[in-house]
Chains A and B, each alone.
Chain A
Amino acid sequence: MKWQKLIKVAFQSILKNRMRSLLTMLGIIIGVASVIALVGLGQGSQADIEKQVSSMGTNLLIIHQGSSFSGGVRGGTGTQASLSMEDVAALREKPLTIQYVSPVIRLNEQVIAGKKNWNTAIEGVSQSYLNIRNYRLSRGSFFTPRDIKAKAKVAVLGKTVVDELFPGQDPVGTRIRIRNVPFVVVGVLGSKGQTAMGSDQDDVILVPDTTAFYRLSDGKAIRAIMVSAVSEDLMTDAEADVRKVLRHAHKLPEGEEDDFHVRSQTELISVASKVTGTLTALLSAIAGVSLLVGGIGIMNIMLVSVTERTREIGIRMAIGARGGDILIQFLIEAVILSLIGGIFGIMAGVGIAFGIGKATGTSVVVSTWVILATVIFTASVGVFFGFYPAKKASALNPIEALRYE
């Protein structure tokens, strides 16, 4: 029998019992829709993370303080005050691999502006921090090398801080107080939004590193140093240089462990995408179970259909259909049933994914290969669960089938 004829017969039989076919497909529709929606959202947030990384700069290296070790107790990262302004100066002398260097002296402080106050992160950074983090200024200017040299009390505010302390106003030129030290606002950062982890990158005040180091942090050590390599290709060389410079500056003898940690941004990203990837896979697997349940629904309805159409099978066999012809006919019906369900499911899933994405602000990525894989998978569900009923139909005895009432 020709394919188009087989497909036509299958459609006729599916359309004959519209309600029944729709209910049968529902299992597949729900399964496919949830898989598509979950994968779409998962890939979307992965893409978000990757975008974040490239916006932060893929050639970024972050150096943290090492862990303390005393009396057999190891502290976590940053417990050992090992980074100093001298380290920053030393790193600046490696221009072949390292382009920008900025310390990050981070404090959490209550900031007061007029009658309003707000608790936010104060970051003491150098001028090149703007380049390292890809920040842009939306208003005013950034602090100058002179400001840094003079430990000037100037501040650049993130957008969230401006919204909280100066709603609807231009803060440039006004005064704020950080730890009772008055600062002049010289600029406002352009918005960067949230990180992949959900922390607000605009809830920050940048001040000169020297100001932070000497006026705000009581001369505490530097928490981190951010370094950008000259190019992405030189990341490994840059990392090696950082190690060498810092080990030399810290006078570490050979064989001793580093008293600092160097992390690249890509490393962070890969961890983050691994987490979302695992989560997506897990949720999709659960959704896949409903696909199997849908497949069982198809098998059930196909068995009913075979019984209902016993006489038709008998007629077809009497006029010369082989068992294989009958098998193919019912198999195609099962596959078409599940494929239509799959197509409805894909449409529903894409709709749901974009709906949730719009509501939560996550990106949605529906890739062709996911749709293709879903189509192939639903077709295989049809073949797998349609086979037993089709086999049963093909094994009928024509004499008995013809006599069936």
Chain B
Amino acid sequence: MDVIVLENIHKVFRLGGETVRALNGVSLTIHKGEYVAVMGASGSGKSTLMNVLGCLDQASMGGYRLEGLCVTAMNKHQLADVRNSKIGFVFQGFNLLPRTSALENVELPLLYSRHSSGVSHRDKARSALDKVGLSDRMDHHPNQLSGGQQQRVAIARALVNDPAIILADEPTGNLDSKTTLDILSVFKSLNDKGITLIMVTHEPDVASHAKRVITMRDGIIIDDRNVDQKDRVVAP
């Protein structure tokens, strides 16, 4: 099943008098259960692509279908609802709410959810934290957690609403190499459970953990290949 279908996406910004073509005709299909890394130098358009995929921004032109829903025709409220129910974000800077416990941080998307299920918010948040191996740190505040642990909380928050995709924007950018491998193994185990993952990174080592690597330059995809599992950089 196709989770994401992008057709000839363009994104144009006007900065002062200058027109910046951040995306210049991107077409891409991502299937359920894929683990995709998006690579590229800064200014290649990968962050803009991420914003469009994450429904934080609308494309100037082109079509975007997320699980069959036509996102390009949606208004601000509908986009917020799509972000809430279909997309889980993991950021470079973790972006947890300070002075708020891990459990409450994970609960946050549920509070904005417009479809309530029978399961209580607390229980859903607990099981999400369990999946990232942090069930013993639920009541800790972000400043009591290490970077790797904070990123795990962020991943749990992304997972809690059972999203169609998890979008990770440089998820290991603020982490040391050991913690990076730690987080990548969390991603791997999630992907093994069938969760679709898209990760933006500029580090080839990190990208090599994905099953498919897309490389961008000047707003277009210049390379799209499946990674041979044996090519993987294995942790020492």
Interface residues of A (CB under 8 A from B): 1-2, 5, 12, 16, 311-312, 314-325, 398-399, 402
Could you tell me if B111 and A2 are in contact, using CB atoms closer than 8 angstroms? yes
CB contact between B112 and one of A12, A320, A398, A402 (< 8 Å): that residue? A320
Whether, in the assembled complex, B108 has its beta carbon less than 8 Å from a beta carbon of chain A, the answer is yes
Could you tell me if A318 and B89 are in contact, using CB atoms closer than 8 angstroms? yes
Please, how many angstroms separate the alpha-carbon atoms of A324 and B77 in the complex?
A: 9
Could you tell me if A16 and B99 are in contact, using CB atoms closer than 8 angstroms? yes
Q: Distance (Å) between the CB of B107 and the closest chain A CB?
A: 9
Number of A-B contacts (CB under 8 A): 59
Q: For B76, what are the chain A residues with a Cβ–Cβ distance below 8 Å?
A: 322-323
Q: For B95, what are the chain A residues with a Cβ–Cβ distance below 8 Å?
A: 311, 314-315, 318, 402
Closest 5 CB pairs of A and B: A320-B84, A322-B80, A319-B109, A320-B112, A1-B111
CB contact between A320 and one of B96, B99, B109 (< 8 Å): that residue? B109
Q: A12-B99, A311-B95, A312-B97 are in contact. Are A318 and B108 (CB under 8 A)?
A: no
Q: A316-B112, A399-B57 are in contact. Are A322 and B81 (CB under 8 A)?
A: yes
Which residue on chain A has the smallest CB distance to residue B111? Answer: A1
Could you tell me if A319 and B99 are in contact, using CB atoms closer than 8 angstroms? no
CB contact between B97 and one of A5, A315, A320, A402 (< 8 Å): that residue? A315
Interface string of B154-168 (1 = CB under 8 A from A): 000100010000000
Q: Distance (Å) between the CB of B120 and the closest chain A CB?
A: 12
Q: Could you pull out 11 A-B pairs where Cβ atoms are within 8 angstroms? A: A12-B99, A317-B83, A318-B89, A320-B81, A320-B83, A320-B85, A320-B109, A320-B161, A322-B112, A323-B80, A324-B77
Interface residues of B, CB < 8 Å — how many?
25
Please, how many angstroms separate the alpha-carbon atoms of A312 and B80 in the complex?
A: 15
Q: Which residues 103-128 of B have a CB within 8 angstroms of A?
A: 108-109, 111-113
Whether, in the assembled complex, B219 has its beta carbon less than 8 Å from a beta carbon of chain A, the answer is no
Which residue on chain A has the smallest CB distance to residue B82? Answer: A320
Q: For B161, what are the chain A residues with a Cβ–Cβ distance below 8 Å?
A: 320
Which residue on chain B has the smallest CB distance to residue A315? Answer: B95
Whether, in the assembled complex, B8 has its beta carbon less than 8 Å from a beta carbon of chain A, the answer is no
CB contact between A318 and one of B56, B85, B100, B113 (< 8 Å): that residue? B56
Please, how many angstroms separate the alpha-carbon atoms of A315 and B105 in the complex?
A: 11
Please, how many angstroms separate the alpha-carbon atoms of A64 and B76 in the complex?
A: 79
Q: For A319, what are the chain B residues with a Cβ–Cβ distance below 8 Å?
A: 83-84, 89, 108-109, 112, 157
Q: For A1, what are the chain B residues with a Cβ–Cβ distance below 8 Å?
A: 111-112
Q: A16-B99, A311-B95, A315-B97 are in contact. Are A321 and B112 (CB under 8 A)?
A: yes
Please, how many angstroms separate the alpha-carbon atoms of A312 and B142 in the complex?
A: 14
Which residue on chain A has the smallest CB distance to residue B158? Answer: A319
Please, how many angstroms separate the alpha-carbon atoms of A315 and B109 in the complex?
A: 10
Interface string of B86-100 (1 = CB under 8 A from A): 000101000111011
Q: For B45, what are the chain A residues with a Cβ–Cβ distance below 8 Å?
A: none
Whether, in the assembled complex, B51 has its beta carbon less than 8 Å from a beta carbon of chain A, the answer is yes
Interface string of B25-55 (1 = CB under 8 A from A): 0000000000000000000000000010010
Could you tell me if B56 and A398 are in contact, using CB atoms closer than 8 angstroms? yes
Q: For B56, what are the chain A residues with a Cβ–Cβ distance below 8 Å?
A: 318, 398-399, 402
Q: For A12, what are the chain B residues with a Cβ–Cβ distance below 8 Å?
A: 99-100
Please, how many angstroms separate the alpha-carbon atoms of A399 and B161 in the complex?
A: 21
Please, how many angstroms separate the alpha-carbon atoms of A402 and B167 in the complex?
A: 15
Could you tell me if A399 and B85 are in contact, using CB atoms closer than 8 angstroms? no
Q: A1-B112, A402-B91 are in contact. Are A318 and B97 (CB under 8 A)?
A: no
Q: For B97, what are the chain A residues with a Cβ–Cβ distance below 8 Å?
A: 312, 315
Please, how many angstroms separate the alpha-carbon atoms of A2 and B81 in the complex?
A: 16
Please, how many angstroms separate the alpha-carbon atoms of A335 and B113 in the complex?
A: 24
Q: For A312, what are the chain B residues with a Cβ–Cβ distance below 8 Å?
A: 97
